[in-house]
Amino acid sequence: MAVIHRTSLSPTKLELLAAWLPSRPWYSGTGEPELARAGGFRLDDPQGAVGIEFLVVTDASGPRPAAYLVPLTYRGAPLDGAEDALVGTMEHGVLGRRWAYDGCHDPVLAAQLPALIEGRVSAQDQDTSNVPDREVTRSWTGAGPVPADFGTPPTDDASGTELHAPDGSVLRLHRVLRATADGAPGPAPGTAGHVAGSWALPDGTRARGLFADLRTGTRSR
């Protein structure tokens, strides 16, 4: 299990994201981002080397507040071939220098998110070691196991990021979060699995919505 350290970060995650988010095609803010941490969860790296965090931030810089899902991975050394995915570096009070990446480009996250959808791993609390996050829900109704290889370069559009497997399966991360009307999001039509969670709105209330879903491919495995 990942160990959560109570220590300092310089710069902070929000400071890194304030510089990085405006470069993303799914970011809709205007001017300087006004970010607040609103929720999220963690996943464990089976090898214990890479930190995996699904961070939710709200941004008040636009005409109405927006919520974004930002999957990040934290490494103790640069990830080969991922220079374009680097969000920035931070000095961690315990672990030293950490390289923070857009997690959709990190093979460790690309393996662990499908494992979460299938139920082979559990979402962990964002701030406390060894505590499951019960607000994160998932489902898998596909035939057979979730495809394991989402190693192709991800693609971004105006609302999210997609990872593709060789069999044609598509894992979509909803970067621009939408609250569901009934508070109980399930799989979108045509999908075989999903991950959903909750986050805090600027007015102090909580919202729930889809974080990710998976469409299975038409080609045989």
178 against 1, higher pLDDT: 178
pLDDT digits (tens, 9 = 90+) for 52-91: 999 999 999 888 889 999 999 999 999 999 999 999 999 9
Residue 188 — very low, low, confident or very high, per pLDDT cuts 50/70/90?
confident
Tell me the average pLDDT of the chain: 90
pTM: 0.92
**Which H or E element spans position 108?**
helix 107-118
Cβ neighbours around 154 below 10 Å, total: 20
Q: What are the residues facing 56 on neighbouring strands?
A: 39, 69
The pLDDT assigned to 221 comes to 39
- Rounded CA gap, 123 and 125, in Å? 7
- Mean pLDDT over 124-132 rounds to 89
The pLDDT assigned to 2 comes to 61
* Tokens 């974080």 sit on residue: 211
- Rounded CA gap, 42 and 20, in Å? 21
34 against 219, higher pLDDT: 34
56-65, 155-164, 183-192: lowest mean pLDDT where? 183-192
Cβ neighbours around 52 below 10 Å, total: 23
- Rounded CA gap, 70 and 21, in Å? 9
Give, as one character, the DSSP assignment of residue 115. H
74-88, 89-103, 166-180: lowest mean pLDDT where? 89-103
